[in-house]
Structure 1
Amino acid sequence: MGGALRSGGPPPGGPDTARTRPGTGLRPAGTPRSVGIVWALLGLNTLGSAGAKTIVPLPRSLIQLVTMGALVAAFALALAINLRLRIRASAFVLMLTLLLVPSVVSSAHLDVGFGALFRCTRLALFVGTLWLLSRWWDGSLTFVQSHIRMYFAVLVSVAAGLLISPGAALPELYGGRLVGALWPLTPPQIGQYAAVIIGLTVLLVLGRRIDRSSAALVIVPSLVLLAMTHTRTATLGLIVGLTLAIGSLILTSAAARRFFTWTVLIVVVAAVGFASALQAWFLRGQSQENFSSLTGRAKVWDALLAAPRTTAEQMFGWGLGDKSFGGLPIDNSWLAVYNEQGLIGVALVALIIIVLGGVALLRPPSLPRACAIFLISYVAMSSYTEAGLGDASPYLLHLALAASLLAVPAAATNLPKPKPTIPRRRVPRWAQDRK
């Protein structure tokens, strides 16, 4: 997996010319490998501590110690490799920093508990680490490779738990859906990780950054795990995200046109031949009433919106929490942000999506742009039935990856303007003034 993702070598002319043009996807020679370790630690922090029962029971305090320790280690390592605090201007990270304001204001009340302040500290460390990493955001595929490796390692642990104890990995409590048996992961989490690395790997294949055999080793098992989670949100997000991303490459890539054509044909044949099986998988044995209420989510949403709030609570929310209301999960990013960070938080999160989407549309067609479009559209789709856009989460990490892909290389923005030169006329010897 590590050797298959080709990022290309430095261009001729030595390390000083290793900066790349926008959209080439080549990794600059000055990017330290420890940046990938920092990214993996950020991913470990966002895995969470709540989920299914594992084969070996893990105390929640131990899991929280590991995840929070990973965030502290990520911040410390990022600071160590960027001691001069060189950062790049990033509208995405700036808006995340502004999101800290309603988070701290709403969490400062002691009646909400110290847990809210702890979550604010976690979000601040997460944003601070992204600021330190922004120095290496240059539109290359460096962070895409780290993203795929990180979540593929998580899926390997899920597959290992399935092989060791199928009963623990497919519990009746979750209706036989796949969960993490070694680390507490829920079916939506596993589905999300599988869908994201499938989409990114497909795009790397179309861009000829990875060979097909290595891609198959990632895509095929990930598809199997995604199917076993029965996660509709991740599946729809994968389909919509890939459609938009490949659509952005159709005019410039023959491989994208061929892939799109064959995919449409396969989907049509599968829809006709396996309609009943697909419907059964999509419904997951639920009744029509349960399906129409989004597995009970609509009831929680109605109760959340009907809850009385003061003007301050409407603007700033009730403080960072566990994304639940009345003991039940909210499972909607927009309502979770409204509940915890108020209307100001909702406006900032919406601005993040709009700005990233607008920048992606203005960029010329390229593989990094297609990967960014996939991630933005996937997160936008998932936000309707998943929470996490207002706190340190995999969804914010996906958007951070999209922001790094849309960044313009520093060399392209800081090139000195050539001074105009006035041609000098040669004066003949006989006309020169001799003293």
Structure 2
Amino acid sequence: MAGDRTPKTVGTVWGLLVLNTLGSAGAKTIVPLPRSLIQMVTMGALVAAFTLALTVNLKLRIRASAYVSLLTLLLVTSVISSANLESGFGALFRCARLALFVGTLWLLSRWWDGSTTFVRHHIRMYFAVLGLVAAGLIISPGAALPDLYGGRLVGALWPLTPPQIGQYAAVIIGLTVLLLLGRRTDRKGAAVVIVPSLVLLALTHTRTATLGLVIGLTLAIGSLILTSAAARRFFTWAVVCATVAAVGFASVLQAWFLRGQSKENFSSLTGRAKVWDALLAEPRSTGETLFGMGLGDKSFGGLPIDNSWLAVYQEQGLIGVCLVAAVIIVLGGIALLRPPSLERACAIFLISYCALASYTEAGLGDASPYLLHLALAASLLAAPAANAARLDAAAATPATDAPDATPEVPRRRVPQWARRTELS
């Protein structure tokens, strides 16, 4: 019975981690939700995830993981930088949250076996989130497409920003396309996920998510071209369709991409560059340069940083930047060394998407969907544990008192005609 419950419980834990990383800041919802209530729900989800993971892994069996090891070092750096309380007691609270997040990943690493099990959990949970977004759009289109965000899609039932929705849609679209190419799902099931997710992605007008989806899928499918005929066909048709769209709908695509912004605003990345320049020009001590200011809300001067590398530099210093870079390099290097497979392609998609999105989105230095995407990539790149159950059983079996005892040799059956010959 326990073995039957474990996969479901592990999926529940993964879903709770997704809920925790949704965040508590965003657009105004139809029914106003106090931020304290949302934070209580998200933090409660993380505590519940850690408790459930500990329940199903009481013996604390974990698998070696370079990814989670690097996150553990990042946690230590975060605690050191937050101990001086320059960012207030909130920094220590965020450190505790990161510690529970990393601890849960360590407990789940026991089931990281290089299969697509966690990919399916990932798609289901984020598709449920997108379903909530679609429900808000149907119930109140005005609240879901507010003028405050330039008519871009937001979460009307749960406070989600357009970049968040675009990220979730792009990730599950890419993973579902790869599952379809690998024949791990049928066309009908894939269409149920891909089509509505594409519509929601288009309504968010999120350039980062769109580019991440296109570039990530290109790299992932490219890794399958030599071994998969389906990947070659899909790549060919994608190039043809992209060429036709670029020629026939160039003006429409350009208008969607610019979102009505001026060239000056677009070149400054919607004002992000000004915040980045001010952050880099800020004088810092040696300790602040190495360890940062402590975990904060990923803002500088009251404005969002919107860059993972600069956010990590601000909060965890150069040491944190080096650790985050090591995460991307190690996962990317392992993916390149693996033989071509669907699992490797999914990992390449996730790694490339997170690396590209890190330029205009923050999140690689704290518990976030991006760290969860990379955790999924780490689970896909883990060595298969086909003999894990046999090793567990061997470990549970007591050793014999006489290890040098001669094993019993099975008796060879003597044919009937040979018996008669011996008797005669």
TM-score (norm. length: structure 2):
0.90
Q: Is the 8 A contact 1:115 1:321 kept in 2?
A: yes
Tell me which residue corresponds to 2:184. 209
From 214, 219, 232, the counterpart of 2:207 = 232
Tell me which residue corresponds to 1:140. 115
Tell me which residue corresponds to 2:416. none
Q: Over aligned residues, Cα RMSD in angstroms?
A: 1.5
AA matched with 1:337: V
Tell me which residue corresponds to 2:144. 169
Tell me which residue corresponds to 1:409. 384
Q: Take 1:103 and 1:396, find their aligned partners in 2: how far apart are those partners?
A: 15
Tell me which residue corresponds to 2:306. 331
Tell me which residue corresponds to 2:341. 366
Tell me whether 1:185 sits opposite 2:154 in the alignment. Answer: no
Tell me whether 1:198 sits opposite 2:140 in the alignment. Answer: no
Instruction: State the Cα distance separating 1:412 from its structure 2 match.
Output: 6.3
Quick one: structure 1 residues 31 and 414, their matched pair in 2 at CA, closer, same or farther if it must change by over 3 Å?
Answer: closer
Tell me which residue corresponds to 2:228. 253
Q: Take 2:191 and 2:390, find their aligned partners in 1: how far apart are those partners?
A: 41
Tell me whether 1:114 sits opposite 2:86 in the alignment. Answer: no
Q: Deviations over 1:107-132 (max 9, x none)?
A: 11134211000000000000000000
From 322, 332, 335, the counterpart of 1:347 = 322
Instruction: State the Cα distance separating 1:410 from its structure 2 match.
Output: 2.5
Unpaired segments of 5 or more residues in structure 2?
Answer: 392-424
Q: Take 1:29 and 1:209, find their aligned partners in 2: how far apart are those partners?
A: 22
AA matched with 2:257: F
Instruction: State the Cα distance separating 1:102 from its structure 2 match.
Output: 1.5
The equivalences for 1:268-279 within 5 A come to 268-279=243-254
From 357, 363, 388, the counterpart of 2:363 = 388
After TM superposition, the runs of 4+ consecutive aligned structure 1 residues lying more than 4 A away are 28-31, 412-416
Q: Is the 8 A contact 1:72 1:125 kept in 2?
A: yes
Tell me which residue corresponds to 2:197. 222
Q: Is the 8 A contact 1:170 1:177 kept in 2?
A: yes
Q: Is the 8 A contact 1:369 1:406 kept in 2?
A: yes
Q: Deviations over 1:316-369 (max 9, x none)?
A: 000000000000000000000000000000000000000000000000000000
Instruction: State the Cα distance separating 1:265 from its structure 2 match.
Output: 0.0
Unpaired segments of 5 or more residues in structure 1?
Answer: 1-27, 417-435
SS in 2 for 1:365: coil
The equivalences for 1:150-169 within 5 A come to 150-169=125-144
Instruction: State the Cα distance separating 1:214 from its structure 2 match.
Output: 1.0
Q: Take 1:29 and 1:141, find their aligned partners in 2: how far apart are those partners?
A: 18
Q: Take 2:4 and 2:239, find their aligned partners in 1: how far apart are those partners?
A: 39
Tell me whether 1:94 sits opposite 2:69 in the alignment. Answer: yes
Q: Take 2:239 and 2:388, find their aligned partners in 1: how far apart are those partners?
A: 40
Tell me which residue corresponds to 1:51. 26
Tell me whether 1:32 sits opposite 2:40 in the alignment. Answer: no
Instruction: State the Cα distance separating 1:414 from its structure 2 match.
Output: 10
Instruction: State the Cα distance separating 1:30 from its structure 2 match.
Output: 9.4
AA matched with 2:127: F
Tell me which residue corresponds to 1:79. 54
SS in 1 for 2:232: helix
Q: Is the 8 A contact 2:86 2:294 kept in 1?
A: no
Q: Take 2:316 and 2:136, find their aligned partners in 1: how far apart are those partners?
A: 37
Q: Take 1:198 and 1:395, find their aligned partners in 2: how far apart are those partners?
A: 16
From 33, 36, 50, the counterpart of 1:61 = 36
Matched pairs, number: 390
AA matched with 2:199: V
Tell me which residue corresponds to 1:427. none
SS in 1 for 2:7: coil
TM-score (norm. length: structure 1):
0.88
Higher helix share: 2
AA matched with 1:88: R
Q: Is the 8 A contact 2:85 2:294 kept in 1?
A: no
AA matched with 1:392: A
Instruction: State the Cα distance separating 1:409 from its structure 2 match.
Output: 1.7
SS in 2 for 1:110: coil
Instruction: State the Cα distance separating 1:33 from its structure 2 match.
Output: 1.5
Q: Is the 8 A contact 1:31 1:136 kept in 2?
A: no
AA matched with 2:316: Q
SS in 1 for 2:213: helix
